[in-house]
Amino acid sequence: MCSLKDNIRRIRPASDGLILELKSAHPPSLEGRAGCETWSVDFSPDGSWFAWSMGHGIVWVIAWPLRHDKVNRVEIALESNRQDKTLNCGQTVWGLAFGPRPSKTPAPGEKAASCERESSRLLLATGLDNGVIKIWDVVTGQPRFDLKGHEGIARDLVFTPNEKLTLISSSRDKTLRIWDLTQKGEKEPHVLSGHKDWVSCCSVSPDCSMIASVGRFDRMVCLWSLRSYTFIRNLTGINHKTFYLLASCDFSPDGALLATAAFSGSSWWIDLWDPYTAQKLSTLMDCSEMYGQNQISSLRFSPGGLQLAIVTEDRALQMWEPGQRGMVMQTKEDRTSNGLCCNFHPQGGVVATGTRDGHVRFWMVPRSVPSLCHLCRSVLRHSVSTHQVEALPIPRRILEFLTYRDIPDHSEARSDRSSDEEE
């Protein structure tokens, strides 16, 4: 395996926000073949590590940030315990996640202690082709133990954001499993059953009360209780197409919104839901006039909740701010962008995207200053449910703002955006 410096294409800041691209060192005979894909990327909770599945069972863990000097060379922090690490998982890696994850709202004085505990026991979970979840020690780069139970690909992994070693996994065996990593795989996990086909993505609410999961082919958006390990409801609404596939889901940082991504033919759309009432609040719909399929692969809320990062088949990255018309950022149309996944740096400012070629790209996020209204709503909604907000004696306009019911639907045709870009 080549060193990191051998796999960096040096790129000067571009108008579309691309910072740099890391290329995996596949032999020429394997380039473009199945197994090269970067199915998952993730930053550690404190932002000091970055990991991506670079194909053929290899995960690369590198120290972050990558430092640019004045001649635009890229270097890695070379401290004794922070050199990049190559993890050979022996199977195709579909999902990965750092943990434990800190609480979204730590108590005063707990942040430093939390960071110290995190650095001493930082783990990386990798979901494999054979259903096994392998747990690694990030500092040493050595495997700790395996989690066995899934009978299909372990597709997506997420740690609960409460500083606990609780891992949620979704699989092509139609189930989700909740693992207690303090038991090192010796205790049977809680199994959530209800999907009729592959479970392609899962997400945990910031208060750790709910799990959301989407089934790619059964078209189910399920909510589960993380406290009682039971099924809550299936989110249903007006379908935009007769036949469609679900791709991804993510909770907003305050837990008041759940975003789901779906596609059908040459169109894709994002629905925003209220997870407490099951109400569909808004839809962003992309209508393309081209023939063939235009798949949406992944979406993620920014750490501040202002924006959604979107990866589609025809654009490497788009950024949408709910409530705003049009995208606040989008790369040029490119059918060979091959995007599969994305994730934000925990402090914001940078988005990483993975591709079918096994490469990863880093993008500069447009700077947005959140309004005081947005900050107040985020703090309130992190601890107050929709039902509790509705019970408050407040004007209707404020109620609609606090419950995100003031976000309009938005739909735009591809031909309109193309003409705008030409101008």
For 253, residues 6+ apart whose C-beta sits below 8 A from its C-beta are: 104, 206, 301, 303, 304, 305, 378, 382
Closest CA to 251 of 211, 287, 214: 211
Question: Residue 78 and residue 91: Cα distance in Å, rounded?
Answer: 29
For 61, residues 6+ apart whose C-beta sits below 8 A from its C-beta are: 49, 50, 51, 84, 85, 86, 87, 124, 138, 141
Class of domain 29-72+80-103+121-369 as given by CATH = mainly beta
Question: Residue 161 and residue 172: Cα distance in Å, rounded?
Answer: 24
Question: Residue 90 and residue 85: Cα distance in Å, rounded?
Answer: 15
Question: Residue 405 and residue 399: Cα distance in Å, rounded?
Answer: 8
The pLDDT of residue 72: 40
Whole-model pTM: value is 0.87
N-to-C CA span, the chain: 45
The identity of residue 127, as a single letter, is G
Within 13 Å of residue 178, how many CA atoms lie on the same side as its CB? 21
Residues of the chain below pLDDT 70 = 1-15, 26-33, 67-82, 104-120, 237-242, 287-293, 411-423
Question: Residue 197 and residue 220: Cα distance in Å, rounded?
Answer: 9
Render the burial of 361-370: b for 16+ CB within 10 Å, e for the rest. Answer: bbbebeebee
Closest CA to 198 of 264, 154, 243, 262: 154
Question: Residue 96 and residue 38: Cα distance in Å, rounded?
Answer: 11
The pLDDT of residue 65: 86
Question: Residue 103 and residue 51: Cα distance in Å, rounded?
Answer: 21
